[in-house]
Amino acid sequence: MDELSWQEVVAAISQASTLAELKDWRTRWVGKHGRITELMKGLSDLPPEERRRRGQELNQAREAILAALTQREQVLTDRAEERALEAERWDLTLPGREPDTGMLHPLTRVRRRIEDVLLRLGFSLAYGPQVESEWYNFEALNIPPNHPAREMQDSFFVDIPGLVLRTHTSPVQIRAMEQHQGRLPVKIIAPGLTYRRDDDATHVPMFQQVEGLVVDHGISVADLMGTLTVMVQELLGGSVRTRFRSSYFPFTEPSLEMDVTCAVCQGQGCRVCKETGWVEILGSGLVHPTVLRNGGYDPDQVSGFAFGMGIERIAMRLYGLDDLRLLYQNDLRFLRGFRHQGGLR
């Protein structure tokens, strides 16, 4: 039976390592034109005795090869299946993939946190335009044209005369008083964007402030200090220490700046706080009589306090940032770092 005996073929088949090899063996030996098939075709030429013997022999060989093929096929298919299962095995202990959901900007969260604290202290929200008249931004706040106080806040003027990008949220003081039409108390906060021609690590040309204004009978510096101290402790934690320094703003008298202990050195003195242990957090004061009058209130009947606080500064402190500009560069690698910041909605 040619160069290989059928036993050798059966042995080779049982060693085959791929299904392709098996197919090859099948075609070559038991296929339509396979070796054994061809030999069987030649049987009719043999004398009857020989034909019987040879026929039995060939049948036996054919059966043996077919059986070997079937058996080996089974083994190889089983193995392939096992390998596939092994490769596709799911590791249920792997951490899940986080869906790429959006989140609020850290500055938005800080602004909302400040609003939360002040709303709980009884303030309500008030708003004013970002393109503001010079009257509301300056004159009504007791900052006359050409007054040197305007130099404190380098302004962006717009093409339409008499309008500026508001340099602070203080114009909302006047707008809120006008809206209250003499009713008491006035107790509002006005968060929003403000603009000044500044640009360095701690100043950006567009920034956010929260203004606060309280007008009522008998409002004093004690109300101012008490309210602001509670607010700052709620925001920055009860262990923060505070102090007030006298200052100057045209729209408050007296004027006070509030400092908090430096977060970097806890008051020991370092480069951030210029070795003083304190950092300024807001400007405030009792509302100037002229400002009350411009808002439609009689300074002989009522008094008030006001404050203005930079939101970015609070964010820098809460998040331990040393460069304010990071907050405005929209770099997702930076912003994603705030994803799991707890406590801020």
CA-derived radius of gyration, the chain:
43
Taking alpha carbons only, the member of 338, 343, 327 closest to residue 103 is 338
CA dihedral for 281, 285, 291, 293, sign (positive or negative): positive
- Beta carbon of residue 162, minimum distance to ligand PHE (angstroms, whole number): 20
- Beta carbon of residue 238, minimum distance to ligand PHE (angstroms, whole number): 25
Q: Which of 25, 29, 297, 307 binds ligand PHE (CB under 6 A)?
A: 307
- Beta carbon of residue 252, minimum distance to ligand PHE (angstroms, whole number): 5
The residue among 212 and 277 lying less far from ligand PHE, judged by its C-beta, is: 212
Please, what is the Cα angle at 118 between 277 and 324, to 5 degrees?
A: 45
The residue among 36 and 114 lying less far from ligand PHE, judged by its C-beta, is: 114
Give me the phi and psi of 14, to 5 degrees please.
-70, -10
d(CA 297, CA 310): 27
Q: Which residue is nearest to ligand PHE (CB)?
A: 308
Whole-angstrom CA distances from 341 to 4, 44, 152, 225 are: 76, 90, 36, 30
Q: Is 252 in the site for ligand PHE (CB under 6 A)?
A: yes
CA dihedral for 157, 163, 165, 168, sign (positive or negative): positive
Q: Is 109 in the site for ligand PHE (CB under 6 A)?
A: no
Span interacting with ligand PHE, options 39-47, 128-136, 197-205, 305-313, rule CB under 6 A: 305-313
Burial class (CB in 10 A: 0-12, 13-18, 19+), 264: middle
Q: Is 308 in the site for ligand PHE (CB under 6 A)?
A: yes
Amino acid at site 38: E
The residue among 287 and 326 lying less far from ligand PHE, judged by its C-beta, is: 287
Residues in contact with ligand PHE, shown as a per-residue x/- string from 224 to 243 under the rule CB under 6 A: --------------------
Span interacting with ligand PHE, options 10-18, 66-74, 75-83, 300-308, rule CB under 6 A: 300-308
d(CA 227, CA 240): 15
Q: Is 208 in the site for ligand PHE (CB under 6 A)?
A: no
The residue among 37 and 155 lying less far from ligand PHE, judged by its C-beta, is: 155
- Beta carbon of residue 129, minimum distance to ligand PHE (angstroms, whole number): 16
d(CA 151, CA 141): 15
The residue among 142 and 284 lying less far from ligand PHE, judged by its C-beta, is: 284
Q: Which of 137, 208, 261, 284 binds ligand PHE (CB under 6 A)?
A: 284
Do residues 240 and 260 touch, judged by C-beta distance below 8 A? Answer: yes
The residue among 106 and 308 lying less far from ligand PHE, judged by its C-beta, is: 308
Do residues 190 and 126 touch, judged by C-beta distance below 8 A? Answer: yes
Q: Residue count at the site for ligand PHE (CB under 6 A)? A: 10
- Beta carbon of residue 94, minimum distance to ligand PHE (angstroms, whole number): 52
Cβ count within 10 A of residue 255: 18
Residues in contact with ligand PHE, shown as a per-residue x/- string from 145 to 184 under the rule CB under 6 A: -----------------------x-x--------------
Taking alpha carbons only, the member of 172, 183, 250, 239 closest to residue 215 is 183
Give me the phi and psi of 163, to 5 degrees please.
-120, 145
- Beta carbon of residue 253, minimum distance to ligand PHE (angstroms, whole number): 10
The residue among 107 and 257 lying less far from ligand PHE, judged by its C-beta, is: 257
Contact footprint for ligand PHE (CB under 6 A)? 168, 170, 249, 252, 283-285, 306-308
